[in-house]
Structure 1
Amino acid sequence: MSREYPIIAVTGSSGAGTTTIKDAFERMFNREKIEAAFVHGDSFHRYSREEMNKILLEAPERKKSLSHFAVEANMLDELDRLFGSYADNGTGIYRHYIHAEDTEMLELGFRVGTFTPWTELPEGTDLLLYEGLHGGLVTDEFNIAQYVDLLVGVAPTINLEWIQKIERDTNLRGYSQEAVIDTIQSRMSDYMQYILPQFSRTHINFQRIPTVDTSNPLALQDVPSNDESMVIIRFKDRLSTDFPYLLAMVKDSFMTRPDTLVIPGGKMSLAMELILTPRIHELLENRRFR
């Protein structure tokens, strides 16, 4: 796919580590002097935290049918409109959802769990980077994936994903461990219906596998470090991927299938830059200008 205004989406579950990939893209953009528009998927939640809690308090039976993974809890029509508008002319509207770690926004007077007003994307950007839950979503009503020129999946093993979510939400967002576990359980159906299928559409998947015991991910424990893990990287377009180059550049890497590279977890940042930088340049070089 070649557009005048490319869209890159990093998709994955809450706690999967999509922010790590987003940060890697941001470093690459700064180094390569690429102007990017950044959009977070949480911005398209339909309800503020207070509104969501009120709905669940008044109708507790909805807890298993309403989660941020689900279509009905998100303004996917707005996300679809943003992607379509940006792909066509580099414009669109977005907003921010305020998390507890968003200190800059909190200092401006916004409350955790609320949204900033909708505003126009900055002008003159080279591409759009989306990080969130639904970058590769396809349903009977919505096809978000059709707009995405490079879809990157972040899908750690499920045990590691849960450990990371519990650690983040208890330490950074002020939730109790019991509340986070309850959220994980209530979202499982939506996770299987809306999140998992996206990883079959990704151009590149990064899956971190711990090399320490995570048998009970619901027990409070430290998140395995990068050096205590391996990363499995699967490529959709394996014929155009320079595996000999990657094997030479990433020490102790190896292949397990014709489309799959395995690297030490501590080499993930290096591998991401080696893999993603040329793909970004390819998107920009192949843009169609009217």
Structure 2
Amino acid sequence: MRKLFQHPLFALGLAIRLGLIAGVLPAALARWYLPFLDASTAQFTLDPWAQWLSAGGEAIAFPYGYAMWFGFLPATLLAKLAGLPLQWAYGLTLLVADVVLLAVLHRLVPGRQRLLLAVYWLSPIVLLASYGLGLNDLVPAALLACAMLYLRQSQLRLAGAICAAAISAKLSMVVALPFFVIYLYNNRALRQRQMQFFAGFVASAVLLGLPFLGSSAGVHMLLSNPEISKVYRLAIDLGGGIQLFVVPLMYLVMLYLAWRIRRLNFDLFQAITGMAFLLIVLMTPGSPGWLVWSIPFLVLYQAMSGRIAIVLIALFSVLYVLSTLLTTPLHGVQGQVWSLGQALNTSGQSGLHIASLLQTAMVGLGVVLAIRMGREAISRNDFFRLSRKPFVIGIAGDSGSGKDTFAEAVTQLFGTHSVVNLSGDDYHLWDRQKPMWQVMTHLNPMANDLEGYSSDLMALTDGKSIQSQHYDHTTGKTGKPVLMDSNDFIVASGLHALYLPMLRDCYSLKIFLDIDESLRRHFKIQRDVAVRGHSLERVLDSFQKRSSDSERFIRPQALHADLIFSLQPIHPRMLDGLQGGAPLRLKLVVKTKPGFNELALNRVLVGVCGLHVDLEASDNGAEVQMSIEGETTAPDIAMAAAMLCPRVMEFLDTPPAWQGGMVGLMQLIALSHISQALTKRFI
């Protein structure tokens, strides 16, 4: 932030602002805003609107709520105490809102100081509308930007409270509220916490809104504001006195567009909200200050896009300045009047004609910008593209290899609201008590309904719902069918998850768990005896019966995997004589194809997690193997993930349930592969 304020462009923009504050006295200030603020501080009251109207003031003077009044109050009081001109206090308040908005944009677009200063701090639209014409739209715009920042940071109560304050400052900000609601609902990670936003919003609305509604004078001034009726000026006459209002119609279409996008992330949310603001402003005649609302969104768009966007918005700004100055003169503090129309000798009908042409060009260019904002935001957005086709993860491995544990760990990263789990155990053909299990094991594909498994997986991948039965390992019986909906992520696990070609074709990422055999037997005995209630003799007997089927049907699936996890004891004979409560010291061997950013992963595992890593490639270069030893914690894994996979962090739950130890390492490495697979899919 310090670099931002020390940049020469910041000093230039600040000098321009201070010069305009000192040398310009806009007509709106002299006639309405300053007299109202002067009267409301001369005899302090919590209902300044009633005091103003009782003194014969104009109803149009200050049609805003408590948030706007409280914002200008401190500087006004200080100026009166110090004997300074009130226009300085007004300008200082706008300057504070201006700096706050710049700081918020810097938080939203870090590392782009020069761009922010060029396209926002030196924006002709902001300078003319706020400091040349004295319009106060910077205050609600800054509040709305703060609400968006806290929304992005998942501080939902604060975001809701500030959103209500923005509406209190200027009622027009209410157009953003439905987009906030749609975003919270269509983002599944935030949907679970959306009541926090509404709690903050309601609390702030009660504090700022109810007292204002109790002021009949304040409500009268608000409803008397001619700006409100401007949204109905652009209309299509349908005959018989019936009109079609274009601005409300366009707003409803934008709401529908936002609603129809199944998955919204912050980038899509701000782009669609920015489109709505820009189109509303462009279609509302004679409201030069309203364009300030769309400036933060245009800045974010320029940061996301390229030079063409910057050039188009620069041209758009020039057209705005020319069309505004041709019809609206500037007023100096000494009574001077500067009119571009008079300077160019284009007053009268010819001046209006030129201004109309400029306005037409500006609106046309603005519509092009709105279309580009939406098109680029959607076409480049990974979050939106994921909603078109789920990301499918296949997890195969022998019985007791940890498939369910790992599938649950992956689910905890993305959240149950974004993941549907399909287990191969639910597709056993017979209950445990059936005699067929005496001649056939679960590891034999013939003992499982792999066609049904494949059909259900393909249906989920196609976005359809399925009816699935759950196999209860405790009772050995299959339950009643339950409805399972598709989701953003599908985790399909099972003994034969990679067995059939049609299954393998469905997966975005194929994982095989190749646990050390002695370790697998150790974990399986613990699970089947202690958790599933099997006898020790039965479990030991199953090892003998299943070994040939494992060699024939299960282990060959590793050849088709993109990623192989092999959990092994540090020492081969470590399990001999292991005491019941003694901890196991394990290492993780990872096999994968080269090019999955193994070098970056190696650096992060060593530098952040403090692990020992041996990295080697096979003789033919077709496989990379990493051997990882050591202990790590969940916070270290979370930090490593943020460094290694920044593009996929917005897909995770809020917060994701990272684990420590070997399971956490498997989460991290799997997420790295998911990030790469998503990148390949979206190219």
- TM-score of the pair, normalised by structure 2: 0.35
Q: Distance in 2 between matches of 1:26 and 1:216?
A: 30
Q: Secondary structure at the match of 2:472?
A: coil
Distance 1:220 1:116, change over 3 A: farther
Paired residues of 1:164 and 1:223 also in contact (CA < 8 A)? no
Match of 2:397 among 12, 16, 24: 12
Residue equivalent to 1:97: 471
| Residue type of the alignment partner of 1:55 | M
Q: Which has the higher contact order (CA 8 A, sep 6+)?
A: 1
The SS at the match of 1:174 is: coil
Question: Once the 2 structures are TM-superposed, how far is the Cα of residue 173 of structure 1 from its aligned partner?
Answer: 1.6
**For 1:231 and 1:165, how far apart are their aligned partners in 2?**
18
Q: How far apart are the structure 2 equivalents of 1:247 and 1:20? A: 25
Who is 1:107 aligned against?
none
1:246 counterpart residue number = 601
- 1:120-169 CA-to-partner distances (Å, cap 9, x unmatched) read 3125x11211122111003xxx6422222211111111121112111211
Q: Which runs of 5+ in 1 are unaligned?
A: 101-111
CA contact (8 A) 2:464 2:485 kept: no
2:425 to 42, 47, 53: 42
Pairing partner for 1:271 from 644, 647, 665? 665
Alignment of 1:69-80 (within 5 A): 69-80=443-454
Task: Give the direction of change, closer, same or farther, for the CA distance of 1:213–1:260 in structure 2 (3 Å limit).
Answer: closer
- Structure 1 pair 278–208 and aligned structure 2 pair: CA distance change class (3 A): closer
Given candidates 113, 127, 143, the residue that maps to 2:476 is 113
| In the alignment, structure 1 residue 23 sits paired with structure 2 residue 408 | yes
DSSP 3-state at the match of 1:256: strand
Q: Secondary structure at the match of 2:476?
A: coil
What is the match of residue 88 of structure 1?
A: 462
Q: Which moved more, 1:15-24 or 1:183-192?
A: 15-24
Q: How does 1:208-247 map to 2 (within 5 A)?
A: 208-214=567-573, 222=580, 225=583, 228-236=585-593, 238-239=594-595, 241-247=596-602
- Give yes or no for contact 1:246–1:274 (8 Å, CA) kept in 2: no
Deviations 1:82-113 (A, max 9, x none): 1222223343332211123xxxxxxxxxxx11
- CA–CA distance in 2 between the matches of 1:26 and 1:44? 21
Task: Look at both structures and tell me which one has the larger radius of gyration over its CA atoms.
Answer: 2
1:180-219 pair list within 5 angstroms = 180-214=539-573
Q: 1:216 to 1:249 in 2, by over 3 A?
A: closer
Q: Distance in 2 between matches of 1:186 and 1:220?
A: 26
Letter in 2 for 1:253: V
How many Å separate the matches in 2 of 1:177 and 1:196?
25
Structure 2 portions without partners, runs of 5+: 1-385, 606-610, 619-623, 632-660
What SS does the corresponding residue of 2:667 show, helix, strand or coil? Answer: helix
How far 1:36 moved relative to its partner? 0.9
Q: What is the deviation of 1:243?
A: 1.8
Give the match's secondary structure for 1:263. Answer: strand
Question: Shift of residue 10 of structure 1?
Answer: 1.2
- Residues 114 and 83 (structure 1 numbering): CA distance in 2 closer, same or farther, change over 3 Å? same
1:155-166 alignment runs, 5 A limit: 155-166=514-525
Paired with 2:450 and 2:506, the residues of 1 have a C-alpha distance of 13
Instruction: Provide the rounded CA distance (Å) in 2 between the counterparts of 1:223 and 1:22.
Output: 26
CA contact (8 A) 1:43 1:96 kept: yes
Match of 2:21 in 1: none
| Change in 2 beyond 3 A, CA 1:127/1:186 | same
Write the distance in 2 (CA, Å) between the matches of 1:286 and 1:243.
16
RMSD of the alignment, in Å? 2.8
Structure showing the higher helix proportion among its residues: 2
Tell me if structure 1 keeps the 8 A contact 2:565–2:666: no
Distance 2:544 2:581 in 1: 20
Residue 104 of structure 1 aligns with which residue?
Answer: none
Whichever structure has more strand as a proportion of its residues is 1
Take 1:147 and 1:176, find their aligned partners in 2: how far apart are those partners?
38
Q: CA deviation at 1:35?
A: 0.6
Identical-residue share of aligned pairs (%): 23
1:12 to 1:134, Cα distance in 2 relative to 1, 3 A: same
What's the secondary structure of 2:670's corresponding residue?
A: helix
Secondary structure of the equivalent of 1:50?
Answer: coil
* Secondary structure of 2:406's aligned partner: helix
SS in 2 for 1:55: helix
> What is aligned with 1:103?
none
Query: Offset at 1:221?
Result: 6.7
Per the TM alignment, residue 46 of structure 1 is displaced from its structure 2 partner at its CA by 0.5
Post-superposition Cα deviations, 1:43-88, rounded to whole Å, max 9, x if no partner, equal 010111122xx335xxx5x2xxx00010121111100111222223
When residues 287 and 213 of structure 1 are mapped into structure 2, their CA distance, relative to the original with a 3 A threshold, is closer
Is the 2:444–2:549 Cα contact (8 Å) retained in structure 1? yes
**Contact 2:422–2:457 (8 Å) recurs in 1:** no
Alignment length (residue pairs):
257
Change (3 A) 1:121 1:167: same
Tell me which residue corresponds to 1:122: 485
Are positions 1:262 and 2:627 aligned together?
yes
